[in-house]
A = this chain, B = another copy of it.
Amino acid sequence: MQARKPSGPASRESTRPDHAARPCPIGRAGNLLGDKWILLILRDATLGVTRFDQLRASLGIADNVLSDRLRRLTEAGVLVKVPYQDSNRTRHEYRLTQAGADLLPLLRALADWGTRYTEPGTPAPPMRIVHSGCGGELDNAGACGRCGAAVPRGDEAWVRPWRSPDLLPLAPAVG
């Protein structure tokens, strides 16, 4: 799919300054993705954390900042608002579109680089990105280092052992 472009003056101002319309795709992508909260929201959405309250609790982010980033991601076509029932009220959750799901190589690259070149404040076992079928670790292109398979999203799992030893499945794209 083609990611939708922001509309309206406010969003144009906040999400498309300078490099958003340039010929360089790194500049265009970086204009949306060059924001630490955006990256953290995408990480959480990839693990199925899709509701405002869940994201706020997971990230320790201020309401207005979270609202702004969810708006940017929705306008860019990376997340989509989907209604759900909460008791008697209809609320919305924010789920990955195909464009959002296709940010997986970016998240893998961040995880790999962060593991190699940064350190946690207190020692913690490293995150692992694995092929849930065979337990092998994936490379940046999503190939399994053990069995060699090109691992589809549905067979990729993340292990975040500082929280739990469980294999975490990745959220599917909507639609």
A interface residues, Cβ below 8 angstroms from B: 1-3, 5, 18-40, 43, 60, 77, 99, 102-103, 105-122, 124, 126-127, 139-143, 160, 162-163
Contact = CB atoms under 8 A, between A and B. Distances in A.
Contacts of A115: 25
B26 A43 contact: yes
A20 B36 CA distance: 10
A109 to B, nearest CB: 4
A24 to B, nearest CB: 7
Contact of A121 (B21, B108, B126): B21
Contacts of A102: 113, 116-117
Nearest to A36: B34
A59 B18 CA distance: 9
